[in-house]
Structure 1
Amino acid sequence: MKASEPPPASLWHDRDFRRLWIGQTASQLGAQAGQVVLPLIAVIALGAGTQQVGILRAVQQAPILLLSLFVGAWVDRRRSRDVMVLADVGRTVVLVVVPVAHLLGLLDMPLLVLVAFLVGVLSVYFDVAYQASLVRLVRRGRLAQGNSALEGSRSAAQIAGPALGGALVSLLTAPIAILASAFFFALSFLSIRRIRRPESMPGPAVRRVRMWRQIHEGLHLIVSNPLLRAVGISSALFQFSFAALMTIYLLFLPRTLHLPGAAVGLVLAAMGPGALVGSLLSARLPTRYGYGVVLVSAALLADGVMLCVPALRGSSAGTIAALMAVNLLFGVFSQLVDVTITTVRQAITPIPIQGRVVATINFVGMGLTPLGSLLGGYLAGALGLRTSLLVTAVTLALSPLFMAQSPLARLGKDLPGIAGDPDG
């Protein structure tokens, strides 16, 4: 945005932000539907066991660990919208392979694992790029509003994505249902490619800097900054435990509670309305009660409600209603934490290295998710689904307990600014 141009009265009056929002919303719909459908393809269409499902989820998450640091430095050298467009095209093409292979009788676990890995690789590129893109599109003072809007769309996707995926699995079979994800990735491509605001590119001197040096700069900032370090560690503790829990949860619903595919989608979709509420609350509660208070209390409440799930039995309407209530509350509190901690991270990170910091936080915070998924698959086989679900639900409390002892808990109603930032 040129210095002479006044900022729009609202982000919703900003045409390029709306295009980013529409594209990100479509991408999240595709991702949320795929997160339900890909494991259900393995479980329902291919008869996969507990460890195979764990491996499938781990392979899809492995690119976060393998590529995040490289992708962060790479995105900082390029236009974020170009990265998002290419990632959307790639995911669309890769997912179309699944129904084609199914119709030809060629679909098996190795092919499904390969598809999951490639989608995971391209999702790393998209996720880093869209978070860096927001900072390049809006002023620092509008980050909370921008994050609230984007996370609100992610919440809406959590309503529609799993429900759509589960319904299509019941109506069309799982391998065909994955076409819904491909469609939404294509829609994301069509919207994001229309963003017109120029993005400043780093000068030749910056591009000549070796990528490993740029990666080191991102790592050094996070290690040396107490707040960013706490963000990374608390994210890692949560994502590791949550990956293990979700691997078991996706098996627990159809195999222990004997819920049909449509009911599984409905239960998972209940997180969406709660997450939408959490996104709306994130624009108000931190500035009213303090960022630290909101982060710690919401994280404890989010993790606590999941302890109710292992006690549920049967597939009655009461069980489904209880699962939906748990997921609704989990959605409210976990989304409140997610948006709030994202706003903290963006506010204290210099704009030129946003991509690297996003990627490094993803690397630290989500890099352990493949191990968490493998652990979930192992525990499910060793302890049984109900016991292992209880164990992993308990471990979710590690993240808020750490946050309570970290500098994050001491944050007040105003965030610290970036040195030299004119908006700070």
Structure 2
Amino acid sequence: MTSGKQIGVLRRNTDFRNLWLGQSASMLGSNMTAVAVPLIASVTLSASISELGVLSAASYLPYLLVSLFVGVWVDRKPKRPIIIGADLLRGATMMLVPCAWWLDALTVPLLVGVVLLVGLCSVVADIGNASLLPALVERDDLIEGNSKLELSSSVSNIGGHSLGGVIVQALTGPVAMALNAATFVVSALFTSRIRRREPAPESTGEPGSVWKDAAEGARFVLGNPLLRVLVLATLVANFFALACEPLFLAFVTRNLDLAPTFVGVILASSGAGALIGAVLAGPMSRRMPLGRLLVFTSTAIGLASLLTPLATVVPEAAAIVLLLVMHVVNSAMVIVCNINLRAYRTSITPVELQGRMTAVVRMVVMGGAPLGAVFGGFLGDRIGVSPALVFASVGLLVAAVIIALSPVRRVTEIPGAAADPAPTADHGSAQADPVEGVPVD
């Protein structure tokens, strides 16, 4: 649980406000790009299905390939200039699309290259921002800070996807990419206004010891009993959460035969749930011990997912209501879980390890996502969509069971100091370490 400090104190923190506004702008641009790029490939370039698959995979590769090395780099250098540079490079890279379109030189391979480079910059900016936050706010304010960032993420998810589609339709995809580029320039501008000096990065050994530093970050994340449990739960939850995605789309369009309008409303309800979760995260953390909160939210996520196959045995109107409830509850609990865990991990991670810790966790999260999606499609083909959804939902509940049967359940609160690795559980040999949100982050 968190302390009783006045809620809203971060409104007076100018540096956090600039970080928040900068991240909000970049989140909006990223979500607009997530709509604009596939539409450009499909409509403007008439890309094949296999080319669209390669384009989608390109967005995951930077997280899998370079996260650890980015974490080392961020821990060695001042973070603010790195974030600014990544945002400006993202904006410049996106401008390649309208320029190539103007010169009649836009191709799918060029678009793949743009996605890869933008993805690489996004890894740098994401890890840098997550590592900079603890330097800008007090430990007791991490819940509020992460809640505000999640609120921006939720709003930009809804607005960015919607706005991206509207702009592409009204002004063409390349023009939309030019507008997206502007959001990253705005992000860099706000980040440049942060005035608080960061703690000087501690020496990490010889300049060439990148592998050694990366391994140190991995040991910090994986070398503790509590953290190992939470990483395992994260892997399980993310794997089955992504397995549900292709199954759900097939379920609502084929099994339920819902009209596209209803499908759009159901999918948009996830954003509403995320907004609710961002609002509830602080109050729930103050009323429930951290370990019990993780068990509760993980269980709620699995149980909510079971509402989807239940929709096959009720009338259409009731089915739509069930699916809306499922998306709202699922998204809200995911956000509550992630906000509290991010605050927990940053509060007990030494400053010099913030980047590497975040990088290792991001690799775990992103690594299981594509495998889960492939597994979900394979399982649906073999045993049917509804049984596969039940199987994947039960898989989500396994993550809750893992936490409930471990010492994590006894963790009471988010520690107040990053440098103190003392146990926060009632289990003498268990040492507190950082973790990532249980489902997808």
CA positional deviation for 1:155 = 2.1
Deviates more, 1:300-309 or 1:188-197: 300-309
Residue 381 of structure 1, CA deviation: 7.5
Deviations 1:355-390 (A, max 9, x none): 111111111222232434455566678788777666
Structure 2 residue 82 is the aligned partner of structure 1 residue 83:
yes
User: What is the CA–CA distance in structure 1 between the aligned matches of 2:247 and 2:45, rounded to whole Å?
Assistant: 18
> Mean alpha-carbon deviation: is it higher for 98-107 or for 161-170?
98-107
Does 2:293 align with 1:305? no
Q: Note the C-alpha offset of 1:63.
A: 1.3
Q: Is the 8 A contact 1:305 1:330 kept in 2?
A: yes
Instruction: Name the stretch that deviates more: 176-185 or 374-383.
Output: 374-383
Q: Do the aligned partners of residues 412 and 117 (structure 1) sit closer, same or farther apart at CA in structure 2, a change above 3 Å counting?
A: same
Q: How many equivalent pairs are there?
A: 413
Are the aligned partners of 1:65 and 1:368 in contact in 2 as well (CA < 8 Å)?
no
CA distance in 2, matches of 1:244, 1:296: 21
What is the TM-score of this pair, normalised by structure 2?
0.79
Show the counterpart of 2:137: 138
Quick one: distance in 1 between partners of 2:43 and 2:385?
17
Structure 1 residues 205, 115: closer, same or farther in 2, change over 3 A? closer
Deviation of residue 125 (structure 1)?
0.6
SS of 1:195's equivalent? coil
2:144 aligned partner, one-letter code: Q
Change (3 A) 1:221 1:80: same
User: Residue 242 of structure 1 corresponds to which residue in structure 2?
Assistant: 241
Q: Does structure 2 retain, via aligned residues, the 8 Å contact 1:163–1:265? A: no
Q: Residue 146 of structure 1: CA displacement?
A: 1.5
Counterparts of 1:368 and 1:61, CA distance in 2: 11
- Is the 8 Å Cα contact of residues 168 and 177 (structure 1) preserved in structure 2? yes
CA deviation profile, 1:331-366 (whole Å, cap 9, x unmatched): 211101111111121122112211111111111222
The 3-state SS of whatever aligns with 1:84 is: helix
CA deviation profile, 1:73-112 (whole Å, cap 9, x unmatched): 1100111111211111122222333344455555444333
Residue in 2 aligned with 1:329?
329
Q: Is the 8 A contact 2:343 2:414 kept in 1?
A: no
Matched, 1:293 2:292: yes
Who is 2:185 aligned against? 186
Name the CA distance, whole Å, in 2 between partners of 1:88 and 1:257.
40
Give the TM-score of the pair, scaled to structure 1.
Answer: 0.82
What is the aligned partner in structure 1 of residue 161 from structure 2? 162
Deviations 1:265-292 (A, max 9, x none): 6654432232122122211212311112
Q: Distance in 2 between matches of 1:396 and 1:318?
A: 24
Take 2:250 and 2:365, find their aligned partners in 1: how far apart are those partners?
A: 24
* Other structure's SS at 1:367 match: helix
Q: Which runs of 5+ in 2 are unaligned?
A: 1-6, 425-441
Partners in 1 of 2:333 and 2:279 — Cα distance? 11
One-letter amino acid of the counterpart of residue 234, structure 1: A
Q: Does the residue aligned with 2:201 lie in a helix, a strand or coil?
A: coil
Native 8 Å contact 1:51 1:381 kept in 2: no
Show CA shifts across 1:31-61 (max 9, x none). 2333344344455555667665544333211
Where 1:360 maps in the other structure, the secondary structure is: helix
Match of 1:215 in 2: 214
Q: How much does 1:26 deviate?
A: 1.2
Corresponding residue number in structure 2 for 1:10: 9
- 1:399 to 1:420, Cα distance in 2 relative to 1, 3 A: closer
Cα distance in 1 for residues equivalent to 2:383 and 2:35: 24
Q: 1: CA distance between counterparts of 2:16 and 2:341? A: 21
1:205 to 1:276, Cα distance in 2 relative to 1, 3 A: closer
| Equivalent residue, structure 2, for 1:232 | 231
The change in CA–CA distance for 1:409 and 1:9 in structure 2 (over 3 A counts) is closer
What's the secondary structure of 1:199's corresponding residue? coil
Indicate how the Cα distance of structure 1 residues 421 and 294 shifts in structure 2: closer, same or farther if over 3 A, else same.
Answer: closer
CA contact (8 A) 1:62 1:370 kept: no
Question: 1:110 & 1:254 partners in 2: Cα distance?
Answer: 32
Give, as a single letter, the amino acid of the residue that structure 2 aligns with 1:291: L
> CA separation of 1:240/1:402 partners in 2, compared to 1, >3 Å: closer, same or farther?
same
Q: CA deviation at 1:149?
A: 1.8
How far residue 70 of structure 1 moved from its aligned partner, in angstroms, is 0.6
Structure 1: stretches of 5+ with no match in the other structure: 1-7
Instruction: Please tell me the root mean square deviation across aligned C-alpha atoms, in Å.
Output: 3.7
Q: Name the CA shift for 1:418/1:199 in 2 (closer, same or farther; >3 Å).
A: closer
